[in-house]
A = this chain, B = another copy of it.
Amino acid sequence: MVTIRDIAERAAVSVSTASRALNNNPRISRETRLRIQSIATEMGYQPNYNAKTLTNGEANAVGVIFPPGDMSTAANPFFVDLLMGINTQLRLRNAVLSVAIANTTEELTKNVLALISQSLIHHFILLYSKANDPVVELLKSQGVQYVLVGDPTQDNERYVNNNNRLAGAKALEYLNRHFNSRHVLFVESEMEQGFEKQRRLGFESAAQQLGVKRELLKLPDKAMQHLDQAVAQYLDNRRDIDGIMTTDDLIGMMVYQLTRQQLNRQVPLISFNKSQSNILIGDQVRFVELYPQHMGEAAVRVLFSETKQFEMLPFTIEKV
């Protein structure tokens, strides 16, 4: 392992000079700075971040906090992309990614506390939001930085998000404009995540504006024996539906097939959250791309920004 000492020696300077040079301290002459840096890369120097953390009192790691078990399904397909985005930004800053994840809020809290006090992590990204969350309390009481991915529940909370309401509205407009939909069904799950609600609100207001007739179908929370039959029947009673919006891909797929089968025609459909599956596809299928990877990147930017309180990310409507 090549240390800062080795470099100092080789460059015939003191360790402090070496340290400063490597950290771009302006007090070092440009000349020696560059010389030392080139020696460092030449020797394959890799700073020991544990030593750094020990002296700085602050880790180069960012903690990513997953939802506790009981709500972990929420944004599932998103997570990998989010992590990807977060980590690309972290790597640019020579930081690393730690995760906190547990089945219960209690365990999760312990986990986060351990990261704070044992690893000296002072920066967190929270992948869920709920009211009165003990984890958030902890973060605040420990005075560490965090940003939320999703809908903020408190004032003065830093976050990144999509404008789900706008997306809901635009999606409906899209259906109306491109497929001439005049009677649109909005399908959501029972659990009423914040983002679903926003999308519905956007959908509703746009429908009203455009004079589009709207239907609302809430799928039961728990698995239901004959869900598909129930949906089929529902559709059968509304045979002139000519557009569908669903809050996720999977639901989208089911409904899509059922409509084809039940109404005996293809109904234009727009869904959120294109999942990795490449199954839901067709001429009249669209989805709202939310760019989870970009959200991850934005989260890191906000986290390390001095001033920025939030970032609202763009979305697009795409053919599959």
In this complex, the member of A47, A101, A119, A261 whose beta carbon has the largest number of chain B beta carbons within 10 angstroms is A101
Stretch of A27-35, A108-116, A203-211, A299-307 lying at the B interface: A108-116
Which A238-291 residues sit within 8 Å CB-CB of chain B?
250-251, 253-254, 257-258, 260-261, 275-279, 281-283
Please tell me the size bucket of the interface on A: 35 or more
Stretch of A4-12, A82-90, A143-151, A153-161 lying at the B interface: A82-90
Is A99 located at the chain interface by the 8 A CB criterion?
A: yes
How many angstroms from the CA of A226 to the CA of B100 in the assembled complex? 42
What residues of B have a CB within 8 angstroms of the CB of A99 in the complex?
64, 83, 87, 97-99
How many angstroms from the CA of A257 to the CA of B276 in the assembled complex? 20
Q: Beyond A111-B91, A276-B76, A281-B223, is A48–B120 a contact (Cβ under 8 Å)?
A: yes
Copies of this protein, total: 2
Tell whether, in the assembled complex, residue B72 and residue A96 are in contact, meaning their CB atoms are under 8 Å apart: no
Is A315 located at the chain interface by the 8 A CB criterion?
A: no
A102 to chain B, nearest CB (A): 7
What residues of B have a CB within 8 angstroms of the CB of A250 in the complex?
250, 253, 275, 277, 279
Which of these, B1, B84, B119, B225, contacts A72 with CB under 8 Å? B84
Q: Beyond A102-B84, A257-B258, is A115–B91 a contact (Cβ under 8 Å)?
A: no
Tell whether, in the assembled complex, residue A228 and residue B257 are in contact, meaning their CB atoms are under 8 Å apart: yes
How many angstroms from the CA of A118 to the CA of B191 in the assembled complex? 43
Tell whether, in the assembled complex, residue B96 and residue A115 are in contact, meaning their CB atoms are under 8 Å apart: yes
Which of these, B84, B87, B91, B101, contacts A83 with CB under 8 Å? B101
A231 to chain B, nearest CB (A): 10
Which A180-222 residues sit within 8 Å CB-CB of chain B?
222
User: For residue A251, which residue of chain B has the nearest CB?
Assistant: B279
Tell whether, in the assembled complex, residue A84 and residue B110 are in contact, meaning their CB atoms are under 8 Å apart: no
